[in-house]
């Protein structure tokens, strides 16, 4: 049964690695020289201390094939004093993900002391101290500031611009947006061609912002304050165009497949915007982990006045969900995997194109049609 109500009344009721050990900053330096330089630049460490050791302890329980080096490192007891920032950050994240907030906080504080410029270390210590388990979309201030600043400005301009062109080209009369948020992608696209709109969004606060603006602009709309899973379990109408931007990554794989099957059965055309996030065997894999730290630092630094709000309230909780034993906030996929899911769901014609670069991963737009397309 449909839960939607016209005029936004419903809304008112209620975001590779290979296993190399290259040290950052050494690219392009011949191997031999690089090793000598590293040996001079870095303090000597006791065996079993440092990023490889901390990562190995994290990786070991998940690996079935262990090499001798891993075993050796694992068997050596670590010191609690870390000698470089990466190692301290790794220890902090590892301890945090296993619920040991005392060790996590002390390691984050050490990371910050080792590198006073590390915003990641500073904010990690903040959120570990706060230990706030609230959902990232429950209180929208951090998410709102996140998507309105930094690299999101260009990302959303590209997203809304692409949607606007699609509306003009296909001129849908009824448009369904799944996981609308506060309408950051949808609303700026509703200009030249403005269809009747259906919005599905589980965060009551974000949905209320979208429907308030739709009402203000006189755009006919229906709103469903629920998840994509709940909506597609009961909704039976067809839509000329269905879209979802950065939202279906929130669904676990089985739910993605089921929701995409519903979409393929209820529209001729679906537009998906998601980041291209290649699968990694383990998030503790050294090359992936280092790359993740560098991306996080870059992402946090894209914000100035809002950095604490955005970093502690959105970016870190979302990314740390990838390391946690708690439920992750998202389940990102490589764009090839999205394509495969769309095909399995029943879409016949699928095209994808790179939409924008972004500190986390590039965003892609996928267009899928059910007919000959």
Ligand X SMILES: C[S@@+](CC[C@H](N)C(=O)[O-])C[C@H]1O[C@@H](n2cnc3c(N)ncnc32)[C@H](O)[C@@H]1O
Name which position in 85, 106, 180, 370 contacts ligand X (CB under 6 A).
Answer: 180
Is residue 274 close enough to count as binding ligand X by CB under 6 A?
A: no
Is residue 364 close enough to count as binding ligand X by CB under 6 A?
A: no
Are 269 and 368 spatial neighbours (Cβ–Cβ below 8 Å)?
yes
The CA distance from 7 to 291, in Å, is 46
Residue 230-269 contact track with ligand X, rule CB under 6 A, x = bound: ---------------xxx--xx------------------
Name which position in 202, 225, 311, 313 contacts ligand X (CB under 6 A).
Answer: 202
Is residue 178 helix, strand or coil?
A: strand
Stretch that binds ligand X, among 46-54, 56-64, 175-183, 347-355 (CB under 6 A): 175-183
Token look-up 């006919």 returns 220
Interaction residues for ligand X, span 99-128 (CB under 6 A) = none
Is residue 370 close enough to count as binding ligand X by CB under 6 A?
A: no
Q: Which residues have a Cβ under 8 Å from the Cβ of 198 and sit 6 or more positions away?
A: 4, 174, 175, 176, 177, 221, 222, 223, 224, 239
Which residues in 162-194 are b (16+ Cβ under 10 Å) and which e? Answer: bbbebbeebebebbbbbbbbbbbbbbebbeebe
Stretch that binds ligand X, among 24-32, 222-230, 284-292, 301-309 (CB under 6 A): 222-230
Stretch that binds ligand X, among 73-81, 96-104, 173-181, 290-298 (CB under 6 A): 173-181
Is residue 147 close enough to count as binding ligand X by CB under 6 A?
A: yes
Instruction: List phi, psi (to 5°) of 17.
Output: -95, 145
Is residue 172 close enough to count as binding ligand X by CB under 6 A?
A: no
Is residue 152 close enough to count as binding ligand X by CB under 6 A?
A: no
C-beta closer to ligand X: residue 108 or 312: 312
Name which position in 95, 166, 185, 241 contacts ligand X (CB under 6 A).
Answer: 185
Is residue 189 close enough to count as binding ligand X by CB under 6 A?
A: no
222 - beta bridge partners? 6, 198
Are 82 and 307 spatial neighbours (Cβ–Cβ below 8 Å)?
no
C-beta closer to ligand X: residue 206 or 341: 206
Are 366 and 271 spatial neighbours (Cβ–Cβ below 8 Å)?
yes
Which of 162, 181, 264 is closest to 225 using CA atoms? 181
C-beta closer to ligand X: residue 140 or 172: 140
Q: Which residues here bind ligand X, judged by CB under 6 A?
A: 15, 137, 147, 178-181, 184-185, 200-203, 206, 227-229, 245-247, 250-251
């Amino acid at each position: 049964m449909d839960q939607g109500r016209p005029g936004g009344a419903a809304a008112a009721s209620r975001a590779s690695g290979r296993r190399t050990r290259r040290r950052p900053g050494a690219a392009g330096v011949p191997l031999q020289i690089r090793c000598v330089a590293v040996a001079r630049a870095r303090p000597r460490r006791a065996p079993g201390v440092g990023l490889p050791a901390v990562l190995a302890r994290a990786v070991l329980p998940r690996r079935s094939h262990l090499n001798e080096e891993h075993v050796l490192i694992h068997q050596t007891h670590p010191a609690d004093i870390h000698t470089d920032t990466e190692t301290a950050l790794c220890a902090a994240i590892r301890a945090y993900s296993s619920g040991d907030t005392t060790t996590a906080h002390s390691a984050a504080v050490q990371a910050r002391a080792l590198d006073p410029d590390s915003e990641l270390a500073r904010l990690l210590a903040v959120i570990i101290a706060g230990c706030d388990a609230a959902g990232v979309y429950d209180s929208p201030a951090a998410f709102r500031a996140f998507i309105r600043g930094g690299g999101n400005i260009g990302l959303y301009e590209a997203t809304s611009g692409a949607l606007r062109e699609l509306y003009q080209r296909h001129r849908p009369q009824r448009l369904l947006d799944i996981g609308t948020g506060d309408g950051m992608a949808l609303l700026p696209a509703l200009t030249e061609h403005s269809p009747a709109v259906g919005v599905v969004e589980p965060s009551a606060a974000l949905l209320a912002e979208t429907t308030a603006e739709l009402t203000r602009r006189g755009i006919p709309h229906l709103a469903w304050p629920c998840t994509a899973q709940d909506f597609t379990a009961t909704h039976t109408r067809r839509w000329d165009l269905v879209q979802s931007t950065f939202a279906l990554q929130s669904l676990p794989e089985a739910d993605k497949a089921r929701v995409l099957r519903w979409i393929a059965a209820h529209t001729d055309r679906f537009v998906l915007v998601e980041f291209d996030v290649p699968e990694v065997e383990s998030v503790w894999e050294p090359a992936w982990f280092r790359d993740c730290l560098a991306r996080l630092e870059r992402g946090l630094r894209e914000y100035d006045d809002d950095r604490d709000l955005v970093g502690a309230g959105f970016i870190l909780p979302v990314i740390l969900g990838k390391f946690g034993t708690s439920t992750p906030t998202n389940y990102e996929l490589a764009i090839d995997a999205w394509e495969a899911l769309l095909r399995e769901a029943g879409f016949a014609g699928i095209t994808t194109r790179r939409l924008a670069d972004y500190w986390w991963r590039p965003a892609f737009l996928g267009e899928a049609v059910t007919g000959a397309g």
